[in-house]
Every structure is written in structure tokens, then in C-alpha cells.
Amino acid sequence: MQESRDIATLSVGGYKSCESSPDCPTAGHHLTHLEITVRTIPIDTNRVAFIGTGKGAARAEYVELSDGSRKRSGNQDKNEHGVPLWVIDVLVDDDEADRAEVVAVKIASHDEPRTEKWKPVRFVNLVAVPYVAQGTGRVALSMRADGIEGQGAHAHRKAGGNEGQAA
């Protein structure tokens, strides 16, 4: 299993004064602005099976309002390169787990990724990305992949080996 080079930054509020740093956006508000560097976690798709549900949708774009709240803009979200984002629901069938679960996997693609209901799905470069959930403050995981084997730009990978290998 290779270590991912992708890095995300999370901001977390605490309850200490931040008066020592005048540039801190939380200065004077009795909060400490912490930045934690988090690596993505590669998923070994040879150990976990993913089963298609046939369900997926365009990922909604959210905009922040002047009061700090967020709402859907009505547009499809895009990644940093302007590629549309999709959310694909799959069943996780892990032999070591007591129960199966449905997870959403985010994929950037110009074409809508699709899965066949009850058929195995093989993701290209599947990773879990930790983040702090708004509202609960708990760490949660978001799933992301470069694509689905046999679809779009990844159609050639199926015949060329490297199947199921998360990078």
C-alpha cells in the first residue's frame, strides 16, 4: 500500500485565547485557530468488495451566505480543475465486518459515472479523507476515487492490470 501525497487542511476551534497572534482570524474571540495536516487514507480494494446500487447523482454546490450559513446554489459542484463532481452510492461488503453498509464515493468526471445494480464496482485510486463534521465536531470520513474501472478515461485500466490497487 502506497502513501498518498494528497494533503487536506482542517481548521478546528478550541477554547484558548489567541491574543499572541494579531493575524489570527479568531483573535479576541477566545478561540484558538488550529490547522491540522491530514493525509488521505488509501483503501485496499482487494480486501473490501463494493457492490453497485445503480444510484448516483450530481454533487450539489453550496454557497456561504453573509450570516455564515450555507445553502445549495442550484448548480453542480466542481473540483479545483473545474471538472463536475458526482456522488455514487455503493454497498460495502467487508468480510471482516458484521454488517454491510452503503457509502457515497465522490468522483470528478465530465461524464456521469454509473454502476449496475448488484454488480461489483472497482474504483481507481479510492481513498478516505478525514474531516471534522459540522455540528458534531467529530472526525468523519469522506470517500473519493479517480474513477470507476472500465468507464471513461479509466476504461483502458481494466485490461492493463493494476486492478483494484489503491494508490
Q: Where are the domains of the chain?
A: 1-39, 40-157
For 78, 109, 110, the CA distances from 81, given in Å and listed in that order, are 8, 11, 11
Radius of gyration of the chain, Cα coordinates, nearest whole angstrom:
19
91 within 8 A of 102, measured Cβ to Cβ: yes
Phi, psi of 127 (to 5 degrees): -135, 155
Q: Specify burial of residue 39 (Cβ count, 10 A radius: 0-12, 13-18, 19+).
A: middle
**Is the CATH number 2.40.50 carried by domain 40-157?**
yes
pLDDT at 17 over 80: no
pLDDT at 3 over 60: no
pTM (2 d.p.): 0.67
Q: pLDDT-based confidence at 135, cuts 50/70/90?
A: confident
Each residue's pLDDT tens digit, 108-129: 999 999 999 999 999 999 999 9
39 vs 80: CA distance, rounded Å: 18
End-to-end Cα separation, the chain, in angstroms: 7
Each residue's pLDDT tens digit, 24-66: 444 444 444 455 555 889 998 888 889 999 999 999 999 999 9
